[in-house]
Each structure stands twice: as C-alpha cells, then as structure tokens.
Structure 1
Amino acid sequence: MIKRNPFLAALFSLVTPGTGQIYNGQLKKGIVFLFFPMIIVIIFSVSNLLTSFQGFINMIGVILLFNLYILIDTITISIKRKSIQRTALNKWYIYLLIILVMPLVFFMSERNIAGLRTFITDGPSMQPTLIANTRFMITTNTNNLMHGNIIIFNAPEGKMYVKRIIGIGGDTVEVKNNSLYLNGNEINEPYLNEKDNMDFAQYTVPEGAYFVMGDNRAQSHDSRAMGPITKDNIIGKALFVIYDNGKIVFNKKL
C-alpha cells in the first residue's frame, strides 16, 4: 500500500486534469477525464458552435467547470482513500509522461479535429476590418466559401495573405468609376477603409478559383496583381476577432 497526498493529487489535476485520478488509483476514471476536453471540442465542432466567439467562450466555460469538478473529486478521493494498492502505473515518470503528452494531444485535436487556429495580421491591407497585429480565429474547413468571406491563403510567391473573397469561379469582376461590379451589378461595400478602387477591366474568375481583394484597396496586394487564388492554396476562413488594438474583443464576427 502507498499513501496518497491530497496536495500532490490536486497539483496533478491542476496541471493535467485526470492525472490526479490515476494517482489515486482510479485508472478508468482518469482516462475518461484525460480525454474529456477533446470530447467537448468534438461536440462543439460537430454542432458548428465554434463559428462564433460566444460559442468558443461557452466551450471554454464547460471545460473549466468540468476541470473544477475533477479537482474537487481528486482531493476528496485522496483524503478518503489515504492509501492505495501499488501498481505499475503509480510511478513518477508515468505521471510526468501524461503531463507532457496530453496537452500536445489536446492541441493536435483542436487543430485537426475542430480545425481551429489563430492568426495574426501583420499589415494594413485589411483595415479597418482587421488592423495590424489583430489576432483572430480561423477554421481550416474551407467548404462552402462564399462572397464576402475573409480567407487566409498561400500566395504564389510563398507569403501568407488575408483577403476578402470578391468573386467565385464563373463570376465577372470589374471596377469602374470607383465602384465594384460583380456579374454586372454594383456591390455595396460598407467594410471598405475608403472608396478608393482603381479601375480595372472586367475579369472572369476561372472555375475553382477565387478573386480576392483587401478592404484597404489602396494598400492591398491582391488578385488585381497576383491573379485568382485556387482552393488548394487556401489555409482557412476567418471566424471572429480575439484580440484587437491592445484588448480582448467580444463578439466581433468576421
């Protein structure tokens, strides 16, 4: 029999929730608790609840509340049991391995299962929608892209850009008299920094491609110069702003 230390059990749970249960001899419960955050991420992702800042905050709230429950459970059990039967898993290096590996597993699940990443703008081309050094959430799910979506993509020269989709395969795009025309119809663009469009002749977007422009047209290197963007080069679609102008931003959907 080996004694259990409530303080150490609590510390394990604070660092990696679920490890405290394994420390207390509750292997099955510990494994479930270790993977619970990933299950929550999957549920919120499948339910399309992560497309808004509020949904993201709700997910974090659920995970934090459950982590609090795990912490209380860990301390309570360690006090009640006081000691447990020694097993091969009750080794310090097993706890260390769990603490090191599980955050990486959770990080990979967030990126690969939910398809979530954060991105930071580094220039003025999308002002005023996205000023320089704005951090925002993107999804790597690029199915069903629409006019007006803001995307992140790899440009032909190897750089990553953030631009707004103006035209989709088959569309005609034209700027004349300082106004944008899509398929012959003038488009209202309330997101522009200022209405400073350089005229360019009518252009037909190739099938499977996207014509993109920055909201700050006067300072944007976009499809007017680099040509259309293919879907293979698109990294993700912007969802919402997280941090802007030195402060956390609530509910600014993109």
Structure 2
Amino acid sequence: MARSLNQEPKKKKPVQPSQENPWLEGIKTVATAAILAFGIRTFVAEARYIPSSSMEPTLQINDRLIIEKLSYHFQEPKRGDVVVFNPTAALEARDFHDAFIKRVIGLPGETVQVKGGHVYVNNQKLSEKYIAEDPNYDYGPVTVPPGEYLVLGDNRNNSYDSHYWGYVPKEKIIGKAFVRFWPFNRLGSLDTEPLYPSQK
C-alpha cells in the first residue's frame, strides 16, 4: 500500500548511554590524578624540606622548597645555584642514601681553593654574603673534573660537602632549588642578586 506523502517515518528510539559504575569513575579519576602528579614530580618539580642546618642562614631547618627539574636539561648548572642531588658513589660507600642540598661553587675545569677564610675560584676571591661564617679550614687547590661540580654548604663549618667527599656528577643532580614556599614570612626565590665574578 502506498504511503501518504505527509506521513512521517517512524523514528528510532534514541540509544541511552550506559551508566558507568560510580566507583569505577572514581578510580579512574584518582588514577589519572596520580599519574599526572607522578609525572610532574618526576619530570617537572617537587617539594622538599630542609632537615639539617648545613645551608644556614640561607635555608633553615624545616624550610619547604620547590625544586624545579627542567632547566638542567637545557643548560648547565651555574655557580651560586642551590641544587638537590642524589648521593654520589663516594657518599653511597659511606652509607648515605637520602638526597643532599648544597650550593654550586666550582664548575667543570675550574680550580677551587679555600684558604684564609675565603673561597677562591681560578684565583679570584668569591664575594659570599650569604654564608654563616668564614670557613675555618683550608682545602685545595683542586681542579673540578669535566661533567662534575664542587658544592659547599652555606654553613661552611658545619656542612658535609665536597671538601670532605669530592664532586657531584651532573647526572646525580635532581634539580635546582627554585622558591621557598614555607614559612610564609620568608616566601620567595633564593639569592636573586649576582654574588660572583662574571662567568665565561
């Protein structure tokens, strides 16, 4: 039988989307957040706290910092950078397993010496307004190997650093201390003023 011209064809019933289990949705959300957080912490930045006095007065015990991890993929550490690094082979041999935080003083190929209460790099005395007190020890002269860095704590006379155990290979460096976010009264970046002779 012929169909009338104004007769509408029967419409199909719309398919209803299936309702996903809310528990499954929650698990997916948490898993996604965890993956993102892990990715950011592994490759971009992470929070760290200061457990010792070796970086006083710049960093106090229980200060909270953001450590950024990207810049050293594109540039070399600079003198004055405060860096977090995994224990070197020399430190692991002495049963140290936690990360350290120190200031970069000697760059690859430079000669470093501590004498008369001052640090010298390539025979130039560093102007170090941030240290707790002048170092009361003599060290060097030593030449920093290629691809490695000499690091010292700002609390020079109470810091277990390169003058005890040697140099930090670049691959051991986790990242650069970027900003202090706790306590609030000392919130901000670290040492923004130039403190050193010009670097070539």
Shorter-normalised TM-score: what interval?
0.7 to 0.9
Paired positions, count: 168
Q: Which residue in 1 is equivalent to 2:168?
A: 229
Once residues 252 and 242 of structure 1 are traced to their aligned partners in structure 2, the CA distance between those partners, rounded to angstroms, is 9
Going from structure 1 to structure 2, the CA distance change for 1:98 and 1:249 (only over 3 Å counts) comes to farther
Give the 5 Å matches for 1:149-228.
Answer: 149-155=81-87, 156-157=91-92, 158-228=97-167
1:202 counterpart SS class: strand
Shift of residue 195, structure 1, vs aligned partner? 1.6
Q: Is it true that 1:253 corresponds to 2:185 in the alignment?
A: no
Q: Is it true that 1:92 corresponds to 2:22 in the alignment?
A: yes
1:147 counterpart SS class: coil
Higher helix share: 1
1:145 counterpart SS class: coil
Q: Which residue in 2 is equivalent to 1:148?
A: 80
Q: TM-score, with normalisation over the residues of structure 1? A: 0.61
Q: TM-score, with normalisation over the residues of structure 2? A: 0.76
CA RMSD of aligned residues (A): 2.0
Amino acid at match of 2:165: M
Shift of residue 85, structure 1, vs aligned partner? 6.9
Structure possessing the higher radius of gyration over alpha carbons: 2
Q: Which residue in 2 is equivalent to 1:130?
A: 59
Q: Which residue in 1 is equivalent to 2:41?
A: 111
Once residues 201 and 105 of structure 1 are traced to their aligned partners in structure 2, the CA distance between those partners, rounded to angstroms, is 46
Once residues 197 and 149 of structure 1 are traced to their aligned partners in structure 2, the CA distance between those partners, rounded to angstroms, is 23
Structure 1: 5+ residue runs without aligned partners?
A: 1-83
Structure 2: 5+ residue runs without aligned partners?
A: 1-13, 192-200
Structure number with greater CO (CA < 8 Å, separation at least 6) is: 2
Once residues 112 and 136 of structure 2 are traced to their aligned partners in structure 1, the CA distance between those partners, rounded to angstroms, is 13
- Taking only the aligned residue pairs, the percentage that are identical comes to 29
Once residues 176 and 136 of structure 2 are traced to their aligned partners in structure 1, the CA distance between those partners, rounded to angstroms, is 24
Q: Which residue in 1 is equivalent to 2:32?
A: 102
